Structure 1
């Protein structure tokens, strides 16, 4: 079995490599593919094969996918350009004869108003139409996304957001990467769509309490209106695009877009998902 992992130099892809090796996949059967030549070259220390790819250059994809059985298509990070990039990868995989594509998508991608979902929905639709057998991993939020929040709150003692009473069922990247490795190395996942989320969904007050525990200081949750949140972010010097994204995401959270969707993640990895506090402690350290 030969497995290609795209985004292998990124956080999720790199962890997926680790879990594939831990599950007994021979390093020689893994192709770690990424865009940055230096970072890709560094992965050779794991013993895996490597490939420099560019989603915008189908020729690089064809070379990386040649002879492979399975593709872990870690969604790209170029917002606004991902649909075309993912289509190129799916087309190249089909041409190469890859027998299954595992794609990392967004929660409830086909029915949500989540600001990040449209590109994932379009990719899922293209993947289904391609005729290539697939598994879709709809990853909820990564707890690690709050690394910058942790640093800011450590200085102010305030966690401010316009999420209302909305909840986030985040899990660690480690959890999601392990689930991907399980799906890549075990049978019975063809055609499956997994809604992956943490075991516990937390709201702003819960998160402030967790931050208090991790930081060893009192942290208060300051609920903001979207307008007040916008004004605060602009005052902090953020550009309009970033402000719109952050406030839009909080609005999604307020209406339940990142709430718990299923127990699929803990079922796949065979253990409870990593508590938010544990991930935050690692980040704080």
Structure 2
């Protein structure tokens, strides 16, 4: 059996490989990277390196040769639907028998612009006839580091989703499920991977407890939220991107109650305070 992880040089992919090599022989693990330079550490670690970009169907077909099971880490927004279609087409052409795909929470019902590419990809995988698991990852605690860092440096925890709730968990925990899926765990076609549902106000209180710092918690308007992040060093376009995330959260796109995560892991998720300690260490 030959396994391949895409996005192998990114944060999620790195964590997934760490878990995967404890489940299957490293000689059976291939990784996909865009360049030899990026892949050099993986090659040195003993992984079978395949080079391809999601935009290049021919290269993907070559990279997927001999692969049985694929952990398909979603690409960056932009031309994502066409690129993801290439991955699915190449997987079918190569005879891949299973795909685990990192998708979006409650994808078929989400209103976020981010969800559209994931809905498209889920449908493409279904049409391909390849067995699959959609890993509908909620939100990484790591995604909140700009807001957290700003709170610790300025004394103000500023957010824009006053009633929104999120199922945060650590990136490594999502990646552990991805590795288990790839290695052959008996998972259903859809896993709603959501941690304990919390508001930003609750997250702020947990941060106060672990940082031993007092700061003001502010549910801000759009302009104040963006300007606060810009003042702490984020480029304008990144701050605007974070505002978009806040709008999705306020629209309840990440308010997903599910027991799938801990069931798939086979153990408890990291407690919120412990997760924050890990991020701040």
Per the alignment, residue 161 of structure 1 pairs with 159
Q: Is the Cα–Cα contact under 8 Å of residues 167 and 204 in structure 1 kept in the other structure? A: yes
Aligned equivalents of 1:243, 1:115: Cα separation in 2? 17
* Count of paired positions: 281
Contact between 2:31 and 2:49, CA under 8 Å: does it hold in 1? Answer: yes
1:212 and 2:208 correspond: yes
Partner residue of 1:18?
Answer: 18
User: Take 1:260 and 1:109, find their aligned partners in 2: how far apart are those partners?
Assistant: 11
Cα distance change of structure 1 residues 218 and 17 upon mapping to structure 2, 3 Å threshold = same
Tell me how far 1:113 sits from its aligned partner. 0.8
Cα distance in 2, alignment partners of residues 240 and 122 from structure 1: 29
Task: State the 1:187 CA deviation.
Answer: 4.5
Aligned to 2:120: 122
* Matched position secondary structure for 1:75: coil
> How far apart, in 2, do the equivalents of 1:220 and 1:228 lie?
14
Which consecutive residues of structure 2, in runs of 5 or more, have no partner in the other structure? none
Query: What is the TM-score normalised by the length of structure 2?
Result: 0.93
Task: Please give the alpha-carbon distance, in whole angstroms, between the structure 1 residues aligned to 2:183 and 2:15.
Answer: 15
**1:22-72 Cα deviation digits (max 9, x unpaired):** 12x011111011113222111123322111211111222112110110111
1:1-285 equivalent positions in 2, closer than 5 A = 1-23=1-23, 25-77=24-76, 79-189=77-187, 192-198=189-195, 200-230=196-226, 232=228, 241-285=237-281
Check conservation: 1:211, 1:219, Cα contact below 8 A: no
Deviation at 1:277, TM superposition (A): 2.4
Q: Is the 8 A contact 2:8 2:33 kept in 1?
A: yes
> How far does the alpha carbon of each residue in 1:162-201 deviate from its partner, in whole angstroms, 9 at most, with x for none?
10121111111111111111212235336x1111011x11
The verdict on how the C-alpha distance between 1:101 and 1:241 changes in structure 2, with shifts beyond 3 A counting, is same
Distance 1:234 1:158 in 2: 14
Please tell me the root mean square deviation across aligned C-alpha atoms, in Å: 1.9
Greater displacement, 270-279 / 133-142: 270-279
- C-alpha displacement of 1:233: 5.1
**Bigger shift: residues 55-64 or 171-180:** 55-64
